[in-house]
Structure 1
Amino acid sequence: MPDPNTLVQPDKGQSARTIHVIDAKGFDAWLNAQPPRHRTAAAAQKLAPSAYSSAILPGDGPEDWSVVTVVANAEKLSPWCLAKLAETLPEGAYRVEGVEPGKAIHGWLVAQYKFDTYKKDEKAPTGARVLLTTDVARIEEAVRIANATYKLRDRINTGANDMGPADLEAAAADLVKAYGGQLSVVKGDEVEKGYGLLWAVGKAAGKGREPRLIEIEWGNPEHPRVAIIGKGVCFDSGGLDIKPASGMRLMKKDMGGAAHALATAELIMSSRLPVRLHMLVPAVENSINGEATRPGDIMRSRKGITVENSNTDAEGRLILADALTKAEEKTPELVIDYATLTGAARVALGADLQALFANDDTLASELMAAAETEADPMWRLPLYDPYKEMLKSDVADMVNAAEAPFGGALTAALFLKEFVPEKAQWAHLDIFCWNGSHKPGRPKGAEAVSLRAVWKVLKDRYAK
C-alpha cells in the first residue's frame, strides 16, 4: 500500500499528466469546444455530465494523453471529486489544470488505501498516483489526516482475534512512544473495585482479553483540558442476550469509537495542539461464560449510580459511563465521545449520516458547521429529557436500556448524560464507521466518520 506521505507533493514544474476538471453544468460547452479526437474519445468512454465520470484524452503522441473528469461544482471541489481517479489512473504524477485541488487532496490520499493484511496472494499494487499542488501549506495537514485515517481503517478492519483490548493498549503505547505523554492502564482488581460497569461488561472475556481502561494524558497542564473518549468493545456477542448471527457478523467494528479516539488523539499530539489531552478508551470484549453478567443483575458504576442490566447487548453505554466519570475527575472543559452505540441511530439516519447529541448549543453548531465544511456529515438529535422516564428501574437507580422499542438512540444518549461532567461541554457521536459498498475514496469496510469535523472544531477553538 502506498505511503500517504508520498502521494501529494509540491508542484515545482516537474513532468506530470494533466487532469482537466469540468463542471457538470458546463459539460456541453466544454465538449463543443473540443477537437474531434477528444469528442470521439469522450464518446467512446461514455463521458457524461455527472460527477466522477472521466475519460482519457489523446495527445499528439502516444504518451501525451491527459485526463478529463466531471465534478458537481468546479468552483468548490469536494473532498471526493478526484478520488475515483486516484483509484483507477495508471501510476504516475498528475496536476489539476487551472485550479488548486484544495479539499480534494483528502480523497486522493485516502482513495489509495487498501487493507490486504490477510491476503497472501493478492497484495495490492505498490505503485502510487501522485498529485502535485502549489498549495504547499495544505500538504502537511492533509497527509496527517490521511495517516490517521489509514490507521483507523486498519484497526477496524482487523479481525477481533488480532484486535483485542491488549492491542488497543499497544496502539495507545505507540502514540505515547511517538509523541510523549503518559500512558496509564487500569485492569484486573482495579477495574473490578473501581469501575463496576466496565467490569460487568468485560469480566467474561478470556485470558489476555480482560477489561481495562486505557488513558493517555498529554500536553501542558496549563492548557485547556479536553477529554476524548472512544468505545472499545473489541467484539460484541451481545452477552447472554446474544445477537443473531447476522447481527454479530460485523461486531469486530464495535471498537470503532476507540479507533476514532486514537485517531483524534494522534491528530492533537502530532499537531502539538495547545490543549491538555485526556484520551480514554474503555476496552472490553462482551463475551459469554459462567462469569457473564446476567439480565437483571445490579451493577454499581464508578459514579455510585446503580444500574439494573435490562439488556446485556446494551453494553457500550455502560463502559462509556465509567470512562465519562473518570474524565469528570479531571474537570475537562470539553468532552467528545465516539461510539458505535445504537442500531436505532442507523435506522433513523442511515450509514453515512452520523448522529450527534450535545448538551451545548454552541458546540453543536460548531460541529454541524464543520460537518458541512468538511463534507463529513452528521445530524443533531435531541437530548429529550422526558424520555428519561424510560430508564427508570424498580430496583436500582436506572436501567441501561429502555424496554420501549422507540427512541433507542435518544435513550442511550440520555443514559450517558447522567455521567457527563457537570460543567463540561459534551458531544456524543453515535457512529457507524463502515461502508457497506464501495464509493470513490471510501472502500467497502471500515471508515473514518466525523473525524475531520471534530478535528476542525478542535483546531478552530484551540490552535490560536
Structure 2
Amino acid sequence: MSTTFASNQSGAIPLHVIHSDGAEEQLAALGGAVASWAKVNGFSGALGTVLMVPSDDGIACALAGYGTVAKRARGRFHGGKLSASLAPGTYTLSGGVPADEVEEFALGWLLGSYRFDRYAKQSSPRAELIAPEGIDAKRVEAMVAGEFLTRDLINTPASDMGPSQLEVAARDLAAKHGAAIEVTEGQALLDNNFPMIHAVGRASADAPRLIDMRWGDAGPQLTLVGKGVCFDTGGLNLKPGVSMGLMKKDMGGAATVLGLAHMIMALGWPVRLRVLVPAVENSVSANSFRPQDILPSRKGLTVEINNTDAEGRLVLADALALADEESPECIISMATLTGAARVAVGPDLAPFYSTDEGLASGIAMGATAADPTWRMPFWEPYESMIEPGIADLDNAPKGGFAGSITAALFLRRFVTETESYTHFDIYGWQPSPAPGRPKGGSGQGARALLAALPARLGLL
C-alpha cells in the first residue's frame, strides 16, 4: 500500500474518465481508434468500469467509467475502486473529473491501496497515480497516512494491541514528529487522581494507563481525547459472544485521534496540540469493578455503576477532566461509545455533539472531505436520566432510550472550564468493502475536523 502519489512521471499512462451521460461524444473526442475499441468491448462509462486501450508497442491509455451524477452521489471515493481494478502501472489523470471532485478522487485512489498485511503478506503491485494538478498533494498524503495509522491500530487484534502496545504506537508517533509524551500507569493512576481509569483497567494483566502527548509550543491549544479500550469483555456484565467479536475495535477513538494528530503534525499547524488516551482493557478478574459500585472521579463527581459494560465514558471522564483543567481553545473527544448511535445513524455516519456552533457548522461540511457526519443534540431535558440520586451520575441509565445522547451528556459534565467541547460517537469499522474502504477498521470524523478546525482556531 502507498500513502503517497507516484513521483516518476516517465511512461505514465493517460487515464481518461468517462461519464455515462455523453459517453459516445467523450470517446469520439479521444479519436476513432479509442472509440472503436470501447465500442467493441462494450465500454459505456458505467461507474467503476475500466478498459485498457492497447497501442502497437504497449498501452495507449486507460478508460475509467464515472457513471452518472446520481450514481456517484450514492457513494464516495470512486477513485478508490479504480486504483484496485486498473492494471499495475503509473497513471496520470487526463480529464473527466469535475474540478470540485478531483481531490476526493485522488484521496480515494490512495485510500484504495490500503491492505492490512501484518499477518498475511500481500505483495501484489498496485496502480499508482501522479498527483493531479490543482490539489494540495501534501494535505491529501497526510490524510491518507493518518487514516492508515488509524486502520492499522484498529485492525490489530488485542493480543498485539493491548494498553502497553497502544502506548508503543503513541510513542512511535511522538518520536516521528518530535512530540513529548508522558504515561501514568497502574497504581500511579490512583496516586495522581485518575480513579476511574484505574477502576476500569485494574482487572487486566496489561496495566491501565493514561497516555499524554504534547506537540508545538505556540498558538492556540487543541486537546484531543480518545477512548482506548483495547478490548471490552463487558466486565462483570459480560458481553455475549456475538457482541464481543468486534471488541478489538473499542479503541477506535484512540486510533482516530492518533491519526488526526499525525495529520495535524505532518502539516505543521501552528498550534499547541495535546493528545490524551486512557488505555485500558475491560477484563474480568477477582478485582473487577462491580455493578452498584460508586466510583470517585478526577472531577470530584461520584458515579454509580449500573453496567460495567458502559466503561468507555468512565475512562474518558477522567481524561476530559484533566484536559479541562487547562481550558484549551477546543476539546474534542472521540469514542466507539454506544450501540445506540449505530441504531440511530448506521455505520457510515459519524454522529457528533458540540457546544461550539461555529465548529459544529464546519464539521457538518465534512462531506466535502468525504467524511460524512451528523450533528446530535445535547438535549438538556434528559439530564435527569443520568442522575441516580445515590451518586452524582449514573453510567448506564435505565430504560434504553437516547443512549448516545445520555452518554454525551455524561461526558459534558466533566468539561466545565472549556467553552468549546465536541464529542464524536463513532463506529470505527467498515462492515463490508466499499471503494477506498476495505472491510475492517476505519477512521471517522478526522478529515471533517481537519477541514473545520483551521477556521475555529484562527489559522486561516
Tell whether the structures are fold-level matches, with TM greater than 0.5.
yes
Amino acid in the other structure paired with 2:342: R
Residue 447 (1) aligns with residue 442 (2) = yes
Provide the residue aligned with 2:375 in structure 1: 380
1:275 aligns with one of 257, 271, 274: 271
Q: Aligned partners of 2:287, 2:131: CA distance in 1, in Å?
A: 58
1:10–1:133 contact (8 Å) kept in structure 2: no
Residue 201 (1) aligns with residue 200 (2) = yes
Provide the residue aligned with 1:216 in structure 2: 213
Provide the residue aligned with 1:292 in structure 2: 288
Matched pairs, number: 452
Query: In percent, how many aligned pairs have the same letter?
Result: 40
Q: Aligned partners of 1:45, 1:457: CA distance in 2, in Å?
A: 45
1:217–1:278 contact (8 Å) kept in structure 2: yes
Deviates more, 1:424-433 or 1:131-140: 131-140
Residue 417 (1) aligns with residue 412 (2) = yes
Q: Aligned partners of 1:329, 1:10: CA distance in 2, in Å?
A: 50
1:397 aligns with one of 386, 392, 395: 392
Q: Aligned partners of 1:349, 1:132: CA distance in 2, in Å?
A: 36
Return the offset for 1:48. 4.7
1:19–1:69 contact (8 Å) kept in structure 2: no
Equivalent position SS for 1:117: coil
Residue 152 (1) aligns with residue 175 (2) = no
Return the offset for 1:72. 4.1
Provide the residue aligned with 2:167 in structure 1: 169
Return the offset for 1:174. 1.4
Structure 1, residues 370-392: CA drift from partner, whole Å, max 9, x if none? x1211200100111011111112
Q: Using a 3 Å threshold, how does the CA distance of structure 1 residues 405 and 9 change in structure 2: closer, same or farther? A: same
Return the offset for 1:190. 2.2
Residue 458 (1) aligns with residue 453 (2) = yes
2:185–2:208 contact (8 Å) kept in structure 1: yes
Provide the residue aligned with 1:118 in structure 2: 119
Equivalent position SS for 2:309: coil
Q: Aligned partners of 1:250, 1:317: CA distance in 2, in Å?
A: 19
Return the offset for 1:50. 4.0
Q: Aligned partners of 2:54, 2:264: CA distance in 1, in Å?
A: 45
Amino acid in the other structure paired with 1:130: E
Provide the residue aligned with 2:177 in structure 1: 179
Q: Aligned partners of 2:324, 2:202: CA distance in 1, in Å?
A: 24
1:312 aligns with one of 308, 319, 322: 308
Structural mapping, 1:124-143, within 5 Å:
124-133=122-131, 135=133, 138-143=136-141
Q: Using a 3 Å threshold, how does the CA distance of structure 1 residues 360 and 65 change in structure 2: closer, same or farther? A: closer
1:358–1:428 contact (8 Å) kept in structure 2: yes
Q: Aligned partners of 1:219, 1:67: CA distance in 2, in Å?
A: 46
Return the offset for 1:163. 0.4
Q: Aligned partners of 1:57, 1:228: CA distance in 2, in Å?
A: 49
Q: Aligned partners of 1:425, 1:46: CA distance in 2, in Å?
A: 55
Provide the residue aligned with 1:263 in structure 2: 259
Structure 1, residues 80-101: CA drift from partner, whole Å, max 9, x if none? 1211110122211111113674
Amino acid in the other structure paired with 1:127: P
Deviates more, 1:96-105 or 1:400-409: 96-105
Return the offset for 1:256. 0.5
1:9–1:139 contact (8 Å) kept in structure 2: no
1:356–1:430 contact (8 Å) kept in structure 2: yes
Amino acid in the other structure paired with 1:24: S
2:15 aligns with one of 15, 19, 28: 19
Q: Aligned partners of 1:412, 1:68: CA distance in 2, in Å?
A: 45
1:332–1:421 contact (8 Å) kept in structure 2: no
Q: Aligned partners of 1:411, 1:72: CA distance in 2, in Å?
A: 41
Provide the residue aligned with 1:4 in structure 2: 3
2:362 aligns with one of 362, 366, 378: 366
Deviates more, 1:136-145 or 1:447-456: 136-145
Q: Aligned partners of 2:443, 2:68: CA distance in 1, in Å?
A: 23
Structure 1 portions without partners, runs of 5+:
none
2:363–2:452 contact (8 Å) kept in structure 1: yes
Structure 1, residues 215-234: CA drift from partner, whole Å, max 9, x if none? 011111x4211110100000
Equivalent position SS for 2:21: helix
Amino acid in the other structure paired with 2:336: T
1:149–1:448 contact (8 Å) kept in structure 2: yes
Q: Aligned partners of 2:334, 2:41: CA distance in 1, in Å?
A: 43
Residue 106 (1) aligns with residue 107 (2) = yes
Return the offset for 1:28. 5.2
Q: Using a 3 Å threshold, how does the CA distance of structure 1 residues 133 and 10 change in structure 2: closer, same or farther? A: farther
Q: Aligned partners of 1:46, 1:203: CA distance in 2, in Å?
A: 63
1:231–1:283 contact (8 Å) kept in structure 2: yes
1:153–1:446 contact (8 Å) kept in structure 2: yes
Amino acid in the other structure paired with 1:362: G
Provide the residue aligned with 1:339 in structure 2: 335
Q: Using a 3 Å threshold, how does the CA distance of structure 1 residues 188 and 33 change in structure 2: closer, same or farther? A: closer
Q: Aligned partners of 1:98, 1:391: CA distance in 2, in Å?
A: 55
Deviates more, 1:340-349 or 1:130-139: 130-139
Structure 2 portions without partners, runs of 5+:
none
1:59–1:66 contact (8 Å) kept in structure 2: no
Q: Aligned partners of 2:156, 2:11: CA distance in 1, in Å?
A: 38
Q: Aligned partners of 1:182, 1:63: CA distance in 2, in Å?
A: 51
Provide the residue aligned with 1:349 in structure 2: 345
Q: Aligned partners of 2:2, 2:370: CA distance in 1, in Å?
A: 24
1:204–1:286 contact (8 Å) kept in structure 2: yes
Structure 1, residues 268-326: CA drift from partner, whole Å, max 9, x if none? 22222111111100000000011001110000010010000011111111111111000
